[in-house]
Amino acid sequence: MLKKQISKVIHHKFDQPIHCPMTHKQRIELEYASHFIPYLKILEKMIGRDKVIESLQELAYQETKGFAEEIVKAKGKNDLSLFKEIYDPANPENQDLLDVLTWEVGKSIEEIFEVKVTECLLAEVFLNAGVGDYGYAAVCSDVLFTKLVNPQIVLDLEGTMMQGKSCCMHRFYVKPKE
């Protein structure tokens, strides 16, 4: 009886897992297509498209900066191996990425690391809503993330799926020493 009472105190019903089977696509659509994107469209009517994009970029900067600091601290490194770890499909810490992206690792040598993203659930949702530019501003922070993790690592990104490309080709490399 005491154990049951303690359990109730520690674990509130709102903190319990929902018992609702939901696909990754349904979750992303719920988060973005049914709430966030419609809000952005209302905001656009009030302040204009450019201001919405500017505010999304600021939000992305703040979130990306915090995440970059957090991951460097947690991993204790900021070299190219960190990016290889992030994009390692066998790494169980990558489940959030695996839920919304499909990618292939290309060249992976000491100074260069290439990743080709072939499917992006976020791009699909934003593009279907006709607001790929909002999606790009809000969630495509790979170049910024790379600079914040280590300014000596460069990410060449030849366009993104969010911008209408067929894939996102990431090419990370260490700047040559001057």
Please answer whether residues 152 and 160 qualify as being in contact, where contact means their C-beta atoms are separated by less than 8 angstroms: no
End-to-end C-alpha distance for the chain, whole angstroms: 69
Q: How far apart are CA 85 and CA 142, in angstroms?
A: 15
Which numeric CATH code is attached to 25-174?
3.30.1380
Check residue 62 and give its pLDDT.
97
Q: How far apart are CA 162 and CA 168, in angstroms?
A: 9
Length of the chain: 178
Structural tokens at position 119: 């499917």
Question: Among 130, 128, 134, which residue's Cα sits nearest to residue 55?
Answer: 134
Q: What is the pLDDT of residues 137-156, one digit of tens each?
A: 999 999 999 999 999 999 99
Check residue 158 and give its pLDDT.
87
pLDDT band at residue 9 using 50, 70 and 90 as cut-offs: low
State the amino acid at position 150 in one-letter form: N
Q: What is the pLDDT of residues 45-57, one digit of tens each?
A: 999 999 999 999 9
95 against 37, higher pLDDT: 37
Helix (H) or strand (E) run with residue 119 in it: strand 112-120
